Structure 1
Amino acid sequence: MPIFVGRRPRAHEYDRTVTDGSATVPTAVLNRFGVDERDAVVEPLGRGHIHRTYLVCGASAPFVLQRINETVFPDSDRLAGNIERVTDALEQARTRGDYTLEWPVPLKDGRGNALVRVSGGTWRAASYIGGTYAIDEVDRPERARRGAEAFGRFCAALVPVDLQDLAELIPGFHNFDRRWAHLEQAVRADTLGRAKEAAAEIDFCRQQRPLGAMLRAAQAELPRRVCHNDTKINNLLFDRSDHRPRAVIDLDTCMPGWWMHDFGDIVRTFCSPEPEDSVRLDHVRVREDVFAAVCRGFVEPLVPHLSENERDSLWLGARGIGLIIGVRFLSDYLEGDRYFSVSRPGQNLERARNQLTLHRDLTARENELRPHLAG
């Protein structure tokens, strides 16, 4: 019978990535991390898009086990190296008293390895942060402020990291031109005959092409920073007792980039009252009180480091990321949902429509919303 430390954690308390529930964890992987399969419970964990993730509860403390998606991250050694450098920097910031949040700590197997390769798969483990929960929608401005502040503090803690020490694991991750070219390629190929269903969305995206030149011009004038690059609301864990942010998670995309993109992803996932796959498009909008709150929260911890140009660029980042993510969802729909996992037919098209609706609303209300970034 499994032995648990305190109350056995529930999978929904740590909201990271999704599995289909059908895959099994090889016993050799469990054994490498010191777990006897006869004395363990393994559960699928989370609702993310990329890796297969499990919560492992056994005779020792529970931990998170993950099979790396090597289609998205083909160089798992460099991925592990990035994670090590980022978590080392967070530990140094905590020692200086500059960072008080937690993070998933990478665990080594019994041989001292961060990665375990078994049966054609690459696995890793990290500490489980118990007593927490994640959300997909922000319910009030104060939670938005605290969440954005957590990401701002995370970015500030990584300022000392040398950009040369981090591998750019997904080149051009937020590159508008790259995503645009991918969309046009998917439209031309139309291998599944889906372009007709998405014709209105394709036309709208084409009308937004000038935004790419604006993003390129801004980036040419901005310093590159170590960024999280995936600052979605559900990449924060909140404490179950006081409901404050406890941890920034999902560090795989920590790479050189621009803070305007991290801010943009915060706006994209905090400010709408609807989740990103909601089909209630008449409810998808930017809530001004939440937008004002994330402006305050994100900027405040970065004030000692934020240049005037960077602050000015945050509005452009808010516009750009919503469009870029919408384009990515649309491209993936056209290509057969190969990157973003789906739970129902047409879900990536629904996600694209949702994000493009949010982009329209944000852009139309610039005079109302942008002044909140002025401080």
Structure 2
Amino acid sequence: MIAFIRQVVVPQFGFYSADTTITPLGNGHINHTFLVANPTKKVVLQKLNTAIFTMPDAVVNNSANISHHLLSKRKEKHYAMQVISPVLTESGLLGLDLGEQGFWRAIDYLEYSHTIDVVTIAQQAEVAAYAFGHFASALSDMHTDSVVDVIPNFLNLPQRLAQLRQSVDSDLCGRLATCQPWAEYALSQTEVLAQLADFETKLPKRICHNDTKINNMLFDKRDMSSMAIIDLDTCMSGYLMYDFGDMVRAFCSPEPEDSTLLNHVYARPEIITIATKAYLEALNGIITPLEKQSLWLGIKVMSLMLGARFLTDYLTGDVYFATEHSQHNLDRAINQLTIYQSLVKQQAQLITLFN
């Protein structure tokens, strides 16, 4: 792939010299990402997964619209972080559609940027939670019609559980015997569905990030302050409880999301507490009382939903998330459902943060 990128793709973005380097970047589950550099400039190059992002033009248009809005906010001194903007092709396009060879786009690379995959100290959670709240605050006056829902029902727990039920019933790959208790447990959580249905009729829709895991916030490696929010591909209309919930779900465990050390996989209450306070501080004056109340449910919903999605992918042959071995999605599913169980056990203590 590197040879193809060098010969066909990067010249479209102005990289012609023989000393251009192309190296894989990050560990995302969906797109292929590379750092492209020569002595004078660097960009992040991505090949979008068009099996998932079936409207790649809408993806890059959404990202451009959000970047433009954030740049305006930054100019007005209402947004403190840097903004990841698209890098146009030499013919002025947001993306490069090469048919069977893929849909490619380039975005800014920020020097001194640094990502982490697991929160190891409370300050990391505090910095990142404030950054995601600040991002949501900056988008709060952007109309939801400004973006297209590129993956309809992306965060739809009833649908995700229905897909899990279907995958259990069909057992296409003969894997059900290895995960049936976990699948039955996920499908039994009907009380969450009732609570969710009640909240969603009352909450305002906003433009949300929809993938607020810790490695989608860039730290500045010089002082570990927040630098930028990245990966705007799933920015769509939605509810703050999902952004917050996905963020805390990703922050709260001391283990990676595919760890099989289940004795060490739990929801750390101190991390949840500091992340909640920072997020609410960033959204002060914007988040409504009912939205604040919904945030606890959002944490539970997102851990349950991701667990169900990993299980569904495992049962249907690993067609969505990139995997490194045959049990990878099962390991991820058990990990997330273990987080969910830990949250349920601590509910009486933690729900008071959201009153």
TM-score tier (shorter): over 0.9
Indicate which of 35, 50, 53 corresponds to 1:73. 53
Match of 2:306 in 1: 325
User: Structure 2 regions of 5+ residues with no counterpart?
Assistant: none
Structure 1: gaps of 5 or more residues: 1-20
User: Equivalent of 1:287, from 265, 268, 291?
Assistant: 268
Conserved 8 A contact 1:27-1:37: no
What is aligned with 1:57? 37
Deviations 1:253-286 (A, max 9, x none): 1100000001101111111111100001111111
Q: Which structure 2 residues correspond to residues 244-263 of structure 1 after superposition, within 5 A?
A: 244-263=225-244
Distance 1:26 1:185 in 2: 43
Normalised TM-score (structure 2): 0.97
User: SS of the residue aligned with 1:39?
Assistant: coil
> Who is 1:270 aligned against?
251
Distance 2:104 2:124 in 1: 34
Which residue is 2:68 aligned to? 88
1:46 matched residue in structure 2? 26
Task: Tell whether the 8 Å contact from 1:28 to 1:118 is kept in structure 2 after alignment.
Answer: no
Contact 1:261 1:318 in 2 (8 A): yes
| Aligned partners of 1:30 and 1:37 also within 8 Å | no
Paired residues in the alignment total 354
2:334 alignment partner in structure 1: 353
Q: Which one-letter code corresponds to 1:84 in the other structure?
A: A
Residues 71 and 83, structure 2, Cα contact 8 Å, conserved in 1: no
Q: Supply the RMSD in Å over aligned alpha carbons.
A: 1.3
Shift of 1:100: 1.1
SS of the residue corresponding to residue 5 of structure 2 reads: coil
Match of 2:160 in 1: 179
- Equivalent position to 1:142, from 102, 110, 123: 123
CA deviation after TM superposition for structure 1 residue 372, in Å: 2.4
Per-residue CA distance 1:118-157 (angstroms, 9 max, x = gap): 2521110011112121111111112211110000000000
Distance in 1 (alpha carbons) for counterparts of 2:205 and 2:188:
28
* Identity, % of aligned positions: 37
Determine the structure 2 residue equivalent to 1:298. 279
Q: What is the distance in 1 between the residues matched to 2:37 and 2:203?
A: 45
Structure-2 separation of matches of 1:119 and 1:266: 35
> Whole-Å Cα distance in 2 between the matches of residues 156 and 149 of structure 1?
10
Q: C-alpha offsets along residues 27-61 of structure 1, whole Å, 9 cap, x if unaligned? A: 22111111115231111111001111111112431
Note the 1:90-239 alignment, pairs <5 A.
90-118=70-98, 120=100, 121-239=102-220
- More deviation in 151-160 or 213-222? 213-222
CA-CA distance at 1:94 after TM superposition: 0.6
How far is the alpha carbon of 1:363 from its aligned partner?
Answer: 0.9
Distance 1:289 1:225 in 2: 28
Quote how far apart the aligned CAs of 1:373 are: 2.8
CA deviation string 1:174-206 (max 9, x = no partner): 101110111111112211100110111111112
Take 2:287 and 2:3, find their aligned partners in 1: how far apart are those partners? 45
Q: TM-score, normalised by structure 1?
A: 0.92
How far 1:210 sits from its partner (Å)? 2.5
SS in 2 for 1:279: coil
Distance 1:310 1:179 in 2: 23
